Structure 1
Amino acid sequence: MYRPAAFQEDNVDKLIAFMKANSFATLVSILDGVPYASHVPLVIAMAGDTVKLIGHLAKQNPQSQALDTELLAIFTGAHAYISPTLYEKHESVPTWNYIAVHAYGIPKVIILNESPESMNQMINEMIDTYEVDYKSHWHSLSDEFREGMMNGIVGFEITVTRLEGKYKLSQNRSQVEQYNVSSTLLQSSDPAAHAVGVQIKQNLEANEY
């Protein structure tokens, strides 16, 4: 990911918090020599100092057959157009503010008939993350139904080997311009633009101390 110095964010705790808050990710791999992407919910977990991404793909998804090489998981949040009229210098250009985190790693494949314990653990972690109250319902289903569902997916656990964060929040502009951008976005009726305004404001306040 292109990360000019002003926008680089390498605080792992901050990146993990963002990933957890925006865990519906884009999973990218190379399939037959071309990029292939799926959009999936992921569980972000820690094993000591190691970040793990846990999830699954439908077995019929061609990408489930491309889990033997490095994968890229892209996490994105709110984004907003930034008008050049908010800058002090007349000769300025439009841009876009956003936050993105890229996580790279090698997956470990989880298949029911090869590792039923790992498959059950993956399912339970997904349920605990996204709807803990569903767990009793899931376990009340017949073994035949649950096995059929689990046989239809390929689970994975990605050990993250590289984590890149980009917080593009007008940090390359003057403080006055950053306040102009933030206050304008905070007045927007667009929830995404308002959220970016909040992020810029928080970033400004954090750098005041």
Structure 2
Amino acid sequence: MYDLPYHKENNPKAVKAFIEAHPFAFLTGSDEHGRPVATQIPLLFEERDGRQLLRGHFMKNTDHHKAFLQNRNALAVFTGHHTYVSGTWYSDPHTASTWNYMSVHVRGAIRFLGGNELETVLRQTSLHFENGDPESETVFDNLPLAFRRKVMHAIVAFEIEVDQIDTVFKLSQDRDYESYRNIIRKLKDQDEAGRAIAAEMERRTAQLFPDVE
């Protein structure tokens, strides 16, 4: 991944918050022959007994299910807003344009879970995305028993024990103050993604430029 020290997020709480705010991850691995597989699914982050875990589920007998049965190494990529940054916005415009974005890469070994744990994962997931409302008709425990049995036969739950987290929060931290403030101004006039990146940059201004702010 893009790996420069000034584009890192070193606050564990901020990294956790980012994962929780952007749970729809790009989960990748490879089979026994080294062929890549990928799927996009929601993943829940947990801290339990001093360990960090990702939990989720997907359909059985798909390419990624079969691959992870053969090779347990998994990479989950969580991404947020991203936007183009024109070189013309810098104090010295005679330089290349770039792209600002935020991304967290989580690596670990995947472990498939049994029937009771599958129920737990489905209950946790449905409650989480229904904002914790136990009365919601689509929460796992409120679904018809026949339907639950049918879908549980076709899916498998898993957890990934995290052994490495890498981050890229590329937010023009390497630019001078004039360029940084002008990038923020320009992005505020862009679409939702641009405005979101501008807001994140603005939150970091005092930390990056303590002698100016």
Would you call these one fold, judging by a TM-score over 0.5? yes
Count, aligned residues: 204
Q: Structure 1 residues 86 and 156, CA, compared in 2 at 3 Å: closer, same or farther?
A: same
Structure 1 residues 7-62: Cα deviation after superposition (integer angstroms, max 9, x where no partner): 02222211110000000000000024221110001111111442211101111421
Q: Give the deviation of 1:89 after TM superposition.
A: 1.4
- The match for 1:62 is 63
Please identify, of 17-26 and 63-72, the stretch whose mean Cα deviation from structure 2 is larger: 63-72
Q: Report matched runs for 1:1-209 at 5 Å.
A: 1-31=1-31, 32-67=33-68, 68-110=71-113, 115-131=114-130, 132-133=132-133, 137=137, 138-188=140-190, 190-208=191-209
Contact 2:72-2:111 at 8 Å conserved across structures: no
Using the alignment, how far apart are the partners of 2:135 and 2:151 within structure 1?
Answer: 15
Q: Secondary structure at the match of 1:66?
A: helix
Distance in 1 separating the partners of 2:60 and 2:93: 54
CA distance in 2, matches of 1:63, 1:134: 32
Query: SS where residue 72 of structure 2 aligns?
Result: coil
Unaligned runs of 5+ in 2: none
SS at match of 1:16: helix
User: SS at the partner of 2:94?
Assistant: coil
Taking only aligned residues, the RMSD between alpha carbons, in angstroms, comes to 1.7
Note closer, same or farther for the CA distance 1:20–1:140 as it changes in structure 2 (3 Å cut). closer
Query: Which segment is superposed worse, 159-168 or 39-48?
Result: 39-48
Could you tell me how far apart the structure 2 residues matched to 1:207 and 1:81 are?
A: 21
2:144 and 2:193 map into 1 onto residues whose CA distance is 42
**Residues 141 and 77 of structure 1: CA distance in aligned 2, closer, same or farther (over 3 Å):** closer
* Cα deviation, residue 165, structure 1: 1.0
What code does the residue aligned with 1:55 have?
A: G
For residues 54 and 79 of structure 2, what CA distance do their matches in structure 1 show? 15
Matches of 1:4 and 1:202 in 2, distance apart? 20
Q: Distance in 2 between matches of 1:10 and 1:139?
A: 39
Identity %: 29
User: Contact 1:127 / 1:135 at 8 angstroms: preserved in 2?
Assistant: no
Amino acid aligned to 1:100? S
Query: When the two structures are superposed, what TM-score results if normalisation uses the length of structure 1?
Result: 0.91
Residue 145 of structure 1 and its aligned partner are, at CA, apart by 2.1
